[in-house]
A and B are shown apart, each in its own frame.
Chain A
């Protein structure tokens, strides 16, 4: 796969927090439309900070981010965020949580509930519409988080280590669903993870970040042939294993 048209661009982005901690330094990158882009790096490399800057939740200290040809100065309707800790309203049921993004946009209740029900069904959560988050497993909670992001029909889904708090089986199932989603909905996904295997398995493009202050250390295009093959075959693919090894050779220098 060749790099497609860039939908998100970072130009010389840097972030220094109030206490003087430099989280990011001169990050420039282009993320392609309709692809799954991963920000990968060790803990504290500023990958979540970079994601939140792209989301418009944190202003950069230096440089700028452009999304769909417009400079980012806050969150926008073309971006939706999936949180590591799910960020669900504990006092609201699944239906209201999934519809919450639409509720904030002022969509009438019936209309947004209809849309939310559709997303809930697609997320495999039918029958749980009136359950509360505390009654759901971690995996199901994250499905709610993802359904909420999909309900607002944004082009770009920003995911901050979305599978970090779910078990391995659920994680693998999620990964398949994510790939499926991409095939069918033409979404651009920007995905933060610290798992080399996850990044390699999922991504069209991997942005490898160095530890604090985070800079782009390498950009890798795994180019893994997925067509018609099952997950286990892909995980035994030579290309896949080579990429995992290549990333590990770089990352291991960062481990102290």
Chain B
């Protein structure tokens, strides 16, 4: 127990050192200066505090979160459902697998003007941008999770007279759960990319608006504060999901390795 605490303490120290190192280098580079458009860490941090205090950051996140959450929930329900369907049925797999492979490989930013052309510049387009980026990895992970079920477990289920329904509910789905959840996590990461691209390319709203506005009026500390904050938020969200994933599906009891 004591040893564990010691290791945890030591790890915390290293983490603090690494943060100090990165921020210190940033401060130095800003003061050098590398470029007039690159503010030191201290100024960026102050800008972040200002934006937090005047509420503009909170307002921006509220408006960014909306299409992101709607998009991820849509993908979470329809995407996982579709992936499971593809995994269970050869017919669904046959006509939809190519679509998702292409979607996964296609550079999605190129499609955004097309989305805007059809759906305008409102919420729908932004939700679609999130969906187009997040759906392929969510669908493919669910599909692979289903397909990778240990065949020996399926044979076991059949040999003990399990029906197809029991096979799906008691073997295939629990076996795939960890991979499906991992897909959701990767999907959220893609969703963050999607929403920022949408907010920069379609109409500036939310965090995208903060970035473009402050860049256009040369408030570089504010611009960098907005960029750094969205990176931090995305990283924390993904990391949180990863911790949850580890807790829900510890590697030793998850079906798929």
List residues of A whose CB falls within 8 A of some B CB. 52, 55-57, 74-77, 79-81, 83, 85, 87, 89-91, 100-101, 103-105, 132, 134, 148, 152
Contact = CB atoms under 8 A, between A and B. Distances in A.
B158 A90 contact: no
A105 B171 CA distance: 15
Nearest to A133: B253
Nearest to B178: A91
B160 A134 contact: no
Interface in B155-195: 155-163, 166, 170-171, 174
A152 B160 contact: yes
A74 B161 CA distance: 9
Nearest to B252: A134
Given A77-B161, A89-B171, A83 B156 contact: yes
A127 B93 CA distance: 45
A87 B153 contact: yes
Contacts of B171: 89
A188 to B, nearest CB: 16
B251 to A, nearest CB: 9
Nearest to B257: A90
B206 interface: no
Contacts, number: 60
A90 B166 CA distance: 17
Contacts of A85: 152
B254 A101 contact: no
Contact of B174 (A79, A81, A91, A101): A91
A89 B150 CA distance: 10
27 contacts: A52-B155, A55-B159, A56-B159, A57-B159, A74-B158, A75-B158, A75-B159, A75-B160, A75-B161, A76-B161, A80-B159, A80-B160, A83-B152, A83-B155, A87-B153, A87-B156, A89-B174, A89-B255, A90-B252, A90-B253, A90-B254, A101-B161, A104-B162, A132-B252, A134-B252, A148-B160, A152-B160
Interface in B139-157: 150, 152-153, 155-157
A57 B155 contact: yes
A48 to B, nearest CB: 11
A104 B152 contact: no
A152 B166 CA distance: 17
Contacts of B161: 75-77, 101, 104-105
Contacts of A56: 159
B176 to A, nearest CB: 11
A55 B160 CA distance: 10
A57 B166 CA distance: 16
A80 B159 CA distance: 7
Nearest to A81: B159
A144 to B, nearest CB: 12
B160 A101 contact: yes
Contacts of A87: 150, 152-153, 155-156
